[in-house]
Amino acid sequence: MSKQVRNWSGLQRFTPQHFEEPATTGQVVKAVNAARARSQRIRVRGNLHSFSEIVRTEETLISVAAMSGVIDADRSSGLVRVRAGTSIYNLSRALDALGLAIPNLGDIDVQSIAGAAATGTHGTGLHYGNISAQVMAAQIVTAAGDVVEIDESDSNALKAARVSLGTLGVVTELTLQCVPAFRLDRLDLPRPIGETLSQIDDLSAGFDHFEFYVLPYSDLSLQKRIDRSDAPAKPLPPMKKFFSDVVIENIAFGATVKAGKLVPRAIPPIAKGLAKAFSPERRLDKSFDAFSTVRMVRFNELEYAIPREHLAEAVERVMAMIQEHGYPVNFPIEVRVGRADEESFLSTAAGRETGYISVHMAKGMDYEPYFHAVETIMDGYEGRPHWGKMNWQTADKLAPRYPGWSDFQTVRASMDPQGVFSNDYTNRVLGPVVAVPHT
Ligand SMILES: Cc1cc2nc3c(=O)[nH]c(=O)nc-3n(C[C@H](O)[C@H](O)[C@H](O)COP(=O)(O)OP(=O)(O)OC[C@H]3O[C@@H](n4cnc5c(N)ncnc54)[C@H](O)[C@@H]3O)c2cc1C
């Protein structure tokens, strides 16, 4: 009997009967064959930073955390072969030493590279795809225990493998298309919400990586205007960085979240006070340092991807809905953008320029009514849930929202015909594996 497993927010807790931590592809094959011999289904975990039940299993859980590091790198082409369990933190530093980088990242760097790709983890930027878009090839151990290499020679399999929700098999290695290392010039700028929303198209197009936060019950938005730069890094002095990133963004913010948790009716005045505390700040950091932040205050999260043209309207509707119901929301709403994704069938940005809206609720607070209300709004925009975040979707509602849905299901059925790599969550959001008739 193995130990209880908990995700980052502590919401998901489960105890798999078997837990395997292979260190080589050969050991992964053994673990898969052993699970098959026990007639057990398998889920693979990364660093457990998903909020949804995506990793949950009471059967066999496999972690490839011991399979970490860069295997091979070609600096001239930027192609880098990595082990699937490598954390984005370690990968970014290893790439930097080679003069390379991943072109776009999300706001934390503790995920495993395979786990981040599997859910379509993204950053922001109208000209940039999500992390999975950089995957050029993948080595996967299938349910039959075969080791297969998937690359452009089978483009449908590759489009399925990039964002797979862990349903095709155990990813053991990935080849990533990297770019020359770069710096980011980042300006954090508080502006009134109305101004940010009315300029959303120009701001998204005008900066390489534009995003903003809005604070419910206040008139504040905090813009992050981020551009790529060839200038040498000019980071904040260490004490100022600590004050800004840890003291203000986490400790002081954590205290306001705690106060709001204890006295929900104090949330609106707290939000107004917090809004006044933001001031402009500029820094020029290595790309991976600028993209990632420290997240010490635990929360649960739901995020939707909608067609970008509806972004301002959708944010306004979410803000109005919070006020109307008086939901005790003491976390900012995060708004980002991304280019249309042609690389993966199940990317939340598949086939359309995308706006992302994420909502949060402090750990231990009732997130359901608020998140359900946001999900209802997003349904009106053909919203696609972040696979790693909370949602209540079902396959029949989601299928029409992805142009490559049935292509994904065909690859899934051919690689895992018995649904060995499925769980209740994947059966809910993707449906069970449907056998493909032989022609
Ligand atoms: C504080 C915080 C901030 C976040 N910020 C962002 C953000 O900025 N942008 C964003 O898009 N998301 C964000 N997320 C969500 C997070 O990036 C995703 O949920 C991501 O998938 C988590 O990666 P992980 O390594 O923890 O994988 P897990 O959560 O452990 O697993 C995620 C999926 O990957 C699969 N998987 C993992 N490893 C393998 C493997 N070797 N083979 C096959 N399948 C595998 C699992 O089966 C599962 O389906 C954030 C989450 C947190 C907690």
Radius of gyration, CA atoms only, the chain: 21
The model's pLDDT over 299-343, given as tens digits with 9 standing for 90+, comes to: 999 999 999 999 999 999 999 999 999 999 988 999 999 999 999
CB contact set of 160 (below 8 Å; sequence gap of 6+)? 168, 344, 345, 346, 407, 408, 411, 412, 415
Comparing CA positions, the residue from 89, 99, 94, 179 lying closest to residue 134 is 179
Residue to probe by mutation, ligand 1, list 11, 54, 119, most atoms within 8 Å of CB: 119
Backbone angles phi, psi at 76, to 5 degrees: -70, -40
Span from the CA of 29 to the centroid of ligand 1 (angstroms): 23
Instruction: Report CA-CA distances (Å) from 251 to 8, 220, 225, 264, 417.
Output: 18, 20, 24, 19, 49
Q: What is the pLDDT of residues 74-103, one digit of tens each?
A: 999 999 999 999 999 999 999 999 999 999
Strand order in the sheet with 135-141: 70-74, 79-83, 170-177, 135-141, 147-150
Nearest CA to ligand 1 atom 33: 115
Residue to substitute in 8, 43, 45 for testing ligand 1 pocket (most ligand atoms within 8 angstroms of CB): 45
Q: Which residues contact 201 (CB under 8 A, 6 or more apart)?
A: none
State CA 12 to chain mean position distance: 17
pTM: 0.95
Is the pLDDT reported for residue 176 higher than 70? yes
Q: What is the pLDDT of residue 293?
A: 85
Cα–ligand 1 centroid distance for 48 (angstroms): 7
* pLDDT > 70? residue 253: no
Q: Percentage of the chain with pLDDT > 90? A: 84
Mean pLDDT of the chain: 93
Q: In what order do the strands lie in the sheet with 60-63?
A: 18-20, 60-63, 42-45
The Cβ of residue 438 has, within 10 Å, a number of other Cβ atoms equal to 4
Q: Which atom of ligand 1 is nearest to the CA of 111?
A: 25
85 CA: nearest ligand 1 atom? 41
Residue nearest to atom 8 of ligand 1 (CA): 106
User: For ligand 1, atom 32, which residue shows the shortest CA distance?
Assistant: 115
CA 340 to chain centre: 16
> What torsion, rounded to 10 degrees, do the Cα atoms 96, 102, 104, 108 define?
-70
pLDDT in tens, 21-45: 999 999 999 999 999 999 999 999 9
Q: With bands split at pLDDT 50, 70 and 90, how would you rate the model's confidence at 112?
A: very high
Q: Is residue 407 packed enough to be buried (19+ CB in 10 Å), middle (13-18) or exposed (0-12)? A: middle
Q: Where are the domains of the chain?
A: 183-385
Task: Indicate whether 425 pLDDT > 70.
Answer: yes
For ligand 1, the distance from its centroid to the CA atom of residue 225, given in whole angstroms, is 25
Question: Cβ neighbours of residue 173 under 8 Å, at least 6 residues apart?
Answer: 25, 71, 81, 82, 83, 84, 138, 139
Phi and psi angles of residue 352, each rounded to the nearest 5 degrees, phi first? -150, 140
Of ligand 1's listed atoms, the one at least distance from the Cα of 48 is 30
Of ligand 1's listed atoms, the one at least distance from the Cα of 166 is: 44
CA 142 to centroid of chain Cα atoms? 24
Mean pLDDT of 284-295: 90
3-state secondary structure 23-88: CCHHHHHHHHHHHHHCCCCEEEECCCCCCCHHHCCCCEEEECCCCCCEEEEECCCCEEEEECCCEH
Residue 154 is given by DSSP the state: G
| Distance from chain centroid for Cα 90 | 17
Residue 79 CA to ligand 1 center (angstroms) comes to 22
Name the residue with higher pLDDT: 353 or 292: 353
- The residue to mutate among 44, 63, 347, having the most atoms of ligand 1 within 8 angstroms of its beta carbon, is 44
Cα(89) to ligand 1 centroid in Å equals 14
Please state, as a whole number, how many other Cβ atoms lie within 10 Å of the Cβ of residue 418.
14
Amino acid at 311: L
154 Cα: distance to centroid of ligand 1 (angstroms): 25
Question: Is residue 251 scored above 70 in pLDDT?
Answer: no
Q: What end-to-end distance do the CA atoms of the chain give, in Å?
A: 44
What are the pocket residues of ligand 1 if the criterion is a CB atom closer than 6 Å to any ligand atom?
8, 43-50, 54-55, 64, 84, 106-108, 111-112, 114-116, 118-119, 121-122, 165-166, 170-171, 295, 386, 388
* 194 Cα to the center of ligand 1, angstroms: 33
Task: Please name which of 296, 242, 238 lies closest in space to residue 108, comparing C-alpha atoms.
Answer: 296
Q: What is the CA 326 to chain-centroid distance, rounded?
A: 28
Can you list the alpha helix ranges (DSSP code H) found in 165-249?
A: 193-198, 200-206, 238-241
Alpha-carbon span 44 to 61, nearest angstrom: 6
Probe ligand 1: pick from 56, 108, 211, max atoms within 8 Å of CB? 108
In testing the pocket of ligand 1, which one of 121, 135, 386 has its CB within 8 Å of the most ligand atoms?
121
- Cα angle 298, 304, 305; round to 5: 135
Gap between the Cα atoms of 334 and 318, Å rounded = 12
Please name the amino acid found at residue 142.
Answer: T
Whole-number Å distance between alpha carbons of 209 and 224: 8
| CATH number for domain 183-385, candidates 3.20.20.70, 3.90.76.10, 3.40.462.10, 1.10.287.3510 | 3.40.462.10
